A = this chain, B = another copy of it.
Amino acid sequence: MSLEGRFDADEGLVRVGSDARQRYHDSRGYGYPLEGNEIALAPVEAAHLLYRGDLDSIVHAETGERLGFREFISREPGDDFGVRFLVYADLRSRGFYLSPAAEPWVPDPPGGEADFAVFPRGKGPRDGEIAYPLRVIGERTDVPAAELAEGVLAVVDEESEITYFEIDRRDPTGSSSGDAALPEDCEAGLLADRVVVWEPPLDLYERTFYGQPLEGREYDEPTLQCSLLEATYLAERGAIDLEAATVRERGREVEGERFDRRLTVYTELREHGVVPKTGYKFGADFRTYADVESVENLGHSELLVRVHPAAYVFEPRDLALDVRLAHGVRKTMVFALVGDESDGSEEIEWWSLERLTP
C-alpha cells in the first residue's frame, strides 16, 4: 500500500502519517520523526519517494490539489531544486542515505554551504556519524574560493550528469634539499624572460633541481636556463650574481601581479622541502616533487599546483578541466590561494580537489 503526503508550502515540508516512520524513516532514512508514526520530509525527499512510487501522491495542504511527481517537481520553486534532486537520487541509487544539512534532519549538521549530510554506507541520520558534507551546484554556478570547505562538491552538468569532487586541505611538505645546498654567486645573465646561469656546479641542477640544461653539447658543468621565479629565488639567497630586485622586476614586467603570487607559492614550497617545476605542459603553474635526491633518480611529480588570489572565483568547468587532467596523469590537483598583500598577509591556503566516485 502506498501512502499519501500533505504538502505545506509555507513550511516547505511534506508530512506523511500512518506507518511512515517505520517504513520511510527508520528503515530507509527519509525525513525526521514527528509525533506518533508521522514524519516530515524535505521536498527533495518527498519528490524521491514520489518518483520511486513509494508515495502515491502529495496533497497540497492549502489548495487540496493532488500532485504527482511531474506536478510536484514542476511547482517546486528555486533554481537549484532540480540539481539537488538529481544528486539526491544518484546517491540513493548508489546505496547511500543522505539528509538535508539542517536540524532536525541531523542533530549536528555541517555548516557552510553544505546542502546534504551524507552518511557512511549502511548508516542513517540517527547513527550519529556523517561521512561528509555535500554541496550541490549546477555547472553554471560560480564558486568563490572563500567557500571551499572540506567535504564533497557535486556538480550537475547541463545534461544532468554529475561529477563529484572531494575537497581537502593539503599542505605540501617534502624532504628535498634546502637552501644550505646552494652555491654562491654563480655568474648569470638575464635574457628577456629567462635567466642563464653560466656553468654553475653540477649539483645546482642535478641535486637541487634548479633550471634546465642547454642541450646539444657535452658538458660537465652544464649551462642552466632558469625561469624568472627560480632566478629570483636563487638571487635572493645569493646563489647567483644578479640583483634579486632586478629579476623580480623583470618577472612583474612579463607577468604582472601574477608573478608575485607565484613567487610566494614557489618560495613556500621550496622552504617546505618541495621542488616546484613549471606545470606548463599540464596547464598549471607548477608540478611538484616532494623528495628530490637527484634529478637522475627523479620520481613521478605528485601534485599539480594552480595559484590564485584568495578572492578568486572558480568556474565549475575549469575545476572539471584541472581535476580531470591531474587525474589522467596520476597527480593531485592543488589550488594555492594567496592572501592579498595589501592587508599585510601573504598566507597561502592549500586545497586539493580530487574526483570521487561515491
Contact = CB atoms under 8 A, between A and B. Distances in A.
B215 A158 contact: no
A136 to B, nearest CB: 13
Nearest to A278: B159
A78 B161 CA distance: 50
A254 B4 CA distance: 36
A321 interface: yes
Given A70-B198, A282-B324, A191 B93 contact: no
A229 interface: yes
A215 B328 contact: no
Nearest to A189: B74
A206 to B, nearest CB: 16
A350 interface: no
Given A73-B191, A160-B194, A52 B283 contact: no
Contact of A211 (B159, B217, B282, B316): B159
Contacts of A211: 159
A251 to B, nearest CB: 10
Contact of A317 (B52, B283, B320, B328): B283
A138 interface: yes
Nearest to A282: B324
Interface stretch (A8-16, A33-41, A79-87, A167-175): A79-87
A228 B318 contact: no
Query: Helix, strand, loop or mixed for chain A's interface?
Result: mixed
Given A79-B193, A191-B82, A320-B282, A159 B325 contact: no
A51 interface: yes
Contact of A325 (B226, B280, B328): B328
A74 B242 CA distance: 15
B278 A216 contact: no
Interface string A284-304: 100000000000000000000
Contacts of A192: 78-82, 138
Given A158-B228, A193-B140, A216-B92, A163 B280 contact: yes
Interface in A64-96: 70, 73-74, 78-82, 89-90, 92-93
Contact of A320 (B93, B161, B280, B324): B280
A53 interface: yes
Nearest to A83: B192
Contacts of A284: 321
A157 interface: yes
Interface in A22-39: none
A158 B321 contact: no
Contact of A281 (B80, B163, B227): B163
A255 interface: yes
A216 B158 contact: no
Interface of A: 51-53, 70, 73-74, 78-82, 89-90, 92-93, 138-140, 155, 157-161, 163, 189, 191-194, 198, 211-212, 214-217, 225-230, 254-255, 277-278, 280-284, 316-318, 320-322, 324-325, 328-329
Q: Which 6 pairs of residues, A with B, have the shortest CB-CB distance?
A: A283-B321, A157-B280, A328-B328, A158-B227, A79-B192, A160-B225
